[in-house]
Structure 1
Amino acid sequence: MKCIWFCKFSVGAPYAKALCFSRYKQSIGMDKKVELALEAIKASRGTESGEYGIDLFVSHHLDELPAAVWLEILGKENPSFDDILSALVVAYVEDDVCDFTLPNDVTNYLISVSFDENGQVVNISMES
């Protein structure tokens, strides 16, 4: 079953008003898959797998997006790495992949987390 989500996974201002919208009925276990994917993204920071995944995603967007965009999506003009991680939204979820991006259509890039048949993370990459 395919499940497409548009959701913000963060807490606190300015995210307190964030809402989750599901275009399709969630299948059992998708919340856990998203949680596992986010944990794997965080754990990959500063590692070899992070080099072409979350580290590249964050550094690229810090270099490319103007301060006004960061102010709009994060409430600050100069975000930290952790600020950007907390702003990730789910773009797509299927049995073998979870894709995340930044809110408000500010980028065409994704952080894609791939899973094997046992539900284990096998790859994290930046894609467009």
Structure 2
Amino acid sequence: MPNHSTTQVARRAIFALAMIAGLLGALFAGPATAATAAEPPSTSATNGYQVRVCVGEGHPDIKAFTINGFNQNNNYVASPKTDLPGNRYGLRCQIIWNWYWKNWIDVDFWDYSDAKLDTRQCYVPESGMYDTYECMFG
């Protein structure tokens, strides 16, 4: 998988700073405002989507993924690590249910020894007809 471009590195730095600012705000405001998966926005996307991550053939080394990005409440959050089911040599897809994302997200891929392989980005629109959006990685 290729190296990050300068734009991607800058975008990740901005996301990291936003996450720190959000965490500091939650810390001072108290535990009731801490960033979590929270309530889903609705059955159709009006403020984010559940994301279906798909990995194409040719990546048998990928076991799992995590997502980092902004949720429907504009909090920067990190998902739990989620395994990709199915044949390691074929197309595999998985949704992290009840987690809603919008704008640019980082998808981290993990191998079978729990080492991070790479990070890819996917743009998730804020609204649409359905509540699931697919990010496909070849």
TM-score normalised to structure 2 length: 0.30
Larger radius of gyration: 2
